[in-house]
Chains A and B, each alone.
Chain A
Amino acid sequence: MQNLKRFSQNYGAVLGLVILGLIIAMALAAPLLFPGNPWRTVAMPLLRPMENPDFLLGTDMLGRDIAAGIAHGAKVSLLIGVVSTLVAVLIGVSIGALAGFYGGRVDDLLMRFTEFFQIIPAFAMAVVLVAIFSPNIVSITLAIAVVSWPGVARLVRAEFLSLREREFVQAAIVIGQSGPRIIMTQVLPNAISPIIVTASLMVATAILTESALSFLGLGDRNMMSWGFMIGAARTMLREAWWMSFFPGLAILLAVLAINLIGEGINDLMNPHLRGRKK
């Protein structure tokens, strides 16, 4: 409750929530606002924004409605962002938790393994994975997850390493709780805030990565996503600026919003942490 109040005082975070809320609403309402398929030709190609009041954001070279694309694309972009993050967090938390909690040889082994993934540039790895397993929404999502978990693993490991030494964890050992139970009930709940903050940033990064993949022609051709729209529009940058401008703006707003929320959570968490340490 108190947290909620503190959060609401963080204007940036509230703004982020509002923007994200609008984007989610748009994604959900897309089938109502723009019924049918966003790939359909609905008007003259290359209408400028506002030129025709029915197509406020203009149309692309095949006469498809940009606004419809953005509304439908919101779903795909958010979906990829959220699902890939969930998968990455799942992998990262499992590996980080085991390494951090058990330490020693387990830690060594898992961290070396993590390093293998970390040392290859994430985007390059994602490109390879998507290309190799042929671009579709599943391979894209998984590829993004595969390259983004090491960060989570490291973070969780560090958290677990320090939490493991905390007295309340020691107390849990002393009263005879089992290792897995301690991880789940004692340590993890206390590491959740930084995980959430990181995850929120990862959603943002995932949306960016998806768009970059699309830009390289490694997007899912059956899904209208923002990144795909920019990728498709980039060669027409000079003839039809609006084709890439609006999806670019949408990405920027979404990422910005998620970031602001993440930072809000971060701020929320920090005084809390300080209070706990004192």
Chain B
Amino acid sequence: MLSFTLQRIGKAVVVIIGVIILNFLLIKLAPGDPAAILAGEAGSGDPQYLENLRAQFGLDRPVPVQLWNYLSGVLTGDLGFSYRNQVPVLSLILERLPATLLLTGAAFAFSLATGVLFGVMAARYRGSALDSIITTLALVFYATPLFWIALMSVLLFSINLGWLPPFDMETIGAGYTGWRRALDIAHHLILPAVTLGLFYTAVYTRLTRASMLEVMGLDFVKTARAKGVPNKRIIRRHVLRNAVLPVFTFASMQAGQLVGGAILTETVFAWPGIGRLMFDALMQRDYPVLLGVFLVTAIVVVIVNFIADLLYRIVDPRIGIA
């Protein structure tokens, strides 16, 4: 286990450094001088002012030097300074990260739970009306643009029915604490998490169904039937666990993608997370923030994958020693 962990950490470091370099170069490739934009926003642009800004942000040095400075900064936990917000990037991101983790985590849990549930039901009653309904719905949700669902659900659940708050993470100014606050946040979480999760619910439903059907055809399921194991127990004890493992692995690999979807969801639901932060940073050419968000996202993804791998190893005895 220790060697596995070390090996994974080694690999993760390589990947993350790669991601940093890739992003860094990408951003350097981009037309658009952050200093000029910053100056533009402030309404002034004499060359001296620009030079000052560039020097202040280290933009006047050659790209490899900048990259090196950035990398060595990252290694010491310094993700740089936001040009625009005049705040260290790390604190800016850390402030916003929990909201995104909460949102994507909830969406992830929601989509996985419902996806697996529906997938199992569809596979269990393969060919029935239930199966048709579930597969059709899964297809429809797979094919519907996320933001469309978001807008429609706000219209229905917030405006027409008034059940759920349409935006914000909590009731601002209410001053709730403890449980009351948790409940309040949960209430605000429902709409964004569900809309963000629906697409993945569809994905996991389809995956689970396919995986279940495949496992159902395997020899050991036949063995179980030959033993006289009741059908329900076969599904629960033999099929489900074997079928769900690949779904989990896939899901853990996809976890990062949720952050992409969060850009849209956070915009519509005014959710104070890093998806929105990233988008704003991009629009303002606040590159240190952009890089920082990518870096943090990559780290989160790596951690999620690592945890998933670890769980996989615990659940699946075959991998344990290999």
Contacts and interface: CB of A to CB of B under 8 A. Distances in A.
On whether A and B touch (CB less than 8 Å), the answer reads yes
B279 interface: yes
B151 A122 contact: no
Consensus secondary structure, chain A interface:
helix
Interface stretch (A61-69, A170-178, A179-187, A207-215): A207-215
A216 B256 contact: no
B282 interface: yes
A277 interface: no
A212 B261 CA distance: 9
Interface string A229-243: 010001001100000
B290 A212 contact: no
A127 interface: yes
A264 B275 CA distance: 36
Interface in B258-294: 258-261, 263-264, 267, 275, 278-279, 282-283, 290, 293-294
A260 B139 contact: yes
Consensus secondary structure, chain B interface:
helix
Nearest to A260: B139
Interface in A150-181: none
How many chain B residues sit at the interface, stated as a range, is 35 or more
Given A112-B14, A216-B279, A204 B258 contact: no
Nearest to B305: A119
B147 A127 contact: no
A124 B276 CA distance: 10
Contacts of B113: none
Contacts of B18: 112-113, 115-116
Interface stretch (B29-37, B177-185, B306-314): B29-37
Contacts of A113: 18
B205 to A, nearest CB: 13
Contact of A124 (B14, B19, B32, B278): B278
Interface in B131-151: 139-140, 142-148, 151
Contacts of A237: 151, 155
A165 to B, nearest CB: 18
A120 B151 contact: no
A1 interface: no
Interface of A: 112-113, 115-129, 131-134, 204, 208, 211-212, 215-216, 227, 230, 234, 237-238, 244, 248, 251-253, 255-256, 259-260
